[in-house]
């Protein structure tokens, strides 16, 4: 069993090798090693160690995806199994209906889709299409992302694609450090269900909305395709790889960054600021009222 010092040092190695802003890694390392030398992590158990190191990482570099996480379920430490967390993520999505919590047609012919996670564009395409098929005939849509904690950038682009008429909208770009390349994300030419155009869309947000959930809200807002109602979101815009350090501890390393084609930036550290700011628990009624006007 590795010591806390070894866990922290291995996490720093992963951050140094993969973090999307390499110029910041020396400062991160110096700050954490300073804490280590002070004995800040000496007697902490696994969950407490993860909490303490995460707090210090984000003090040194305010990136919401830069974290040590505790996993109750043990994970493989075999190098062949280190896929950045993709297999575990896909398994979680299969167990959670591809992140789609609820689809309803409300009184007044208003559609409601509640997302908890954003599925991949490959495995999640059928489920995303099924949800959009069910609301295809509604006159307005509420897309509830208040409890959406993240997911796939490709899936976020697929969700967004339903709200534009064709494949001619350049949504955003993602720069990846490991390959030094930028990938463009456009609306898709073919989708499994009808597009949802020429009708109002309200996106509901909260302080918990994160990562790929924020991607959907930010992108639709920036392109003028949805009105965001609720609270400012959590502020994590960097696609992330997850690497096991022990069977129960993993480090999440932001390896890429999102760039909006409209704003030239993203929501990292600032969140998605709603068009209609209201407490998150009031966002549904506020958006529903606006959809019936």
Whole-structure pTM value: 0.89
Does 84 have pLDDT greater than 90? Answer: no
How do residues 11-37 score in pLDDT, each as one tens digit?
999 999 999 999 999 999 999 999 999
In this prediction, residue 82 carries a pLDDT of 66
What pLDDT is attached to residue 194? 97
Torsion of the alpha carbons at 47, 63, 272 and 51, rounded to the nearest 10: 10
Per-residue b or e along 4-19, where b marks 16 or more CB atoms closer than 10 Å to that residue's CB: beebbbbbbebbeebb
What is the pLDDT averaged over residues 85-96?
86
With bands split at pLDDT 50, 70 and 90, how would you rate the model's confidence at 87?
A: confident
- Per residue in 190-242, pLDDT tens? 999 999 999 999 999 999 999 999 999 999 999 999 999 999 999 999 998 88
Which of helix, strand or coil describes residue 103? Answer: strand
The residue extents of the domains of the chain are 4-75, 96-236+271-291
**Contact in structure between 235 and 270 (CB atoms under 8 Å):** yes
| pLDDT classification of 125: cutoffs 50, 70, 90 | very high
Phi and psi at residue 173, in whole multiples of 5°? -125, 155
Evaluate whether 207 touches 236 at the Cβ level (below 8 Å). Answer: no
User: What pLDDT score does 79 carry?
Assistant: 66
Of 76-80, 193-197, 280-284, least confident by mean pLDDT is: 76-80
Task: Say yes or no to pLDDT of 42 above 60.
Answer: yes
Residue-wise pLDDT for 152-181, tens only, equals 999 999 999 999 999 999 999 999 998 999
Q: Is 268 helix (H, G, I), strand (E, B) or coil?
A: coil
Tokens of 125: 């395409």
The answer to whether 260 touches 216, Cβ cutoff 8 Å, is: no
Return the percentage of the chain with pLDDT > 90, whole number. Answer: 88
Task: Give the containing element (helix H, strand E) for 53.
Answer: helix 46-60
Banded pLDDT at 121 (limits 50, 70, 90)? very high
- Exposed, middle or buried: residue 27 (CB in 10 Å: 0-12, 13-18, 19+)? exposed
Count of residues in the chain: 293
Instruction: Give the Cα separation of 266 and 191 in Å (integer).
Output: 26
198 phi-psi bin (left φ>0, alpha ψ -120 to 50, beta other): left
User: Which pair of tokens denotes residue 288?
Assistant: 């529903």
Residue 80 pLDDT greater than 60, yes or no: no
Fold of 96-236+271-291: 2-enoyl-CoA Hydratase; Chain A, domain 1 (3.90.226)
Mean pLDDT of 49-62: 96
Q: How many CA atoms lie within 13 A of 132 on its CB side?
A: 20
Using alpha carbons, select from 137, 99, 144, 124 the residue that is nearest to residue 191: 124
- pLDDT band of 1, cuts 50, 70, 90: confident
């Amino acid at each position: 069993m590795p010591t806390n010092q070894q866990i922290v040092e291995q996490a720093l190695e992963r951050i140094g090798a993969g973090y999307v802003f390499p110029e910041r890694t020396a400062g991160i390392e110096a700050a954490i090693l300073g804490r280590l030398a002070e004995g800040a992590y000496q007697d902490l158990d696994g969950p407490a160690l993860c909490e303490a190191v995460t707090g210090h990482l984000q003090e040194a570099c305010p990136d919401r995806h830069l974290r040590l996480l505790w996993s109750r379920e043990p994970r493989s430490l075999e190098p062949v199994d280190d896929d950045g967390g993709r297999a575990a993520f896909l398994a979680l999505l299969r167990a959670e209906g591809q992140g789609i919590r609820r689809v309803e047609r409300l009184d007044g012919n208003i559609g409601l889709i509640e997302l908890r996670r954003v599925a991949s564009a490959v495995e999640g395409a059928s489920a995303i299409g099924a949800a959009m098929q069910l609301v295809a005939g509604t006159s307005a849509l509420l897309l509830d992302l208040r409890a959406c904690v993240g997911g796939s950038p490709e899936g976020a682009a697929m969700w967004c694609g339903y709200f534009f008429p064709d494949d001619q909208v350049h949504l955003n770009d993602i720069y990846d450090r490991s390959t030094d390349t930028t990938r463009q994300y456009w609306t898709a030419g073919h989708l499994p269900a009808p597009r949802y155009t020429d009708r109002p869309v309200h996106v509901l947000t909260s302080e918990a909305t994160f990562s790929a959930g924020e991607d959907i809200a930010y992108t639709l807002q920036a392109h003028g395709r949805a009105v965001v109602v609720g609270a400012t979101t959590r502020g994590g815009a960097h696609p992330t790889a997850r690497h096991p350090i022990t069977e129960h501890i993993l480090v999440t390393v932001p390896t890429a960054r999102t760039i909006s084609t409209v704003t030239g930036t993203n929501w990292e550290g600032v969140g998605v600021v709603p068009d209609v700011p209201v407490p998150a628990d009031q966002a549904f009624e506020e958006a529903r009222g606006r959809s019936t006007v």
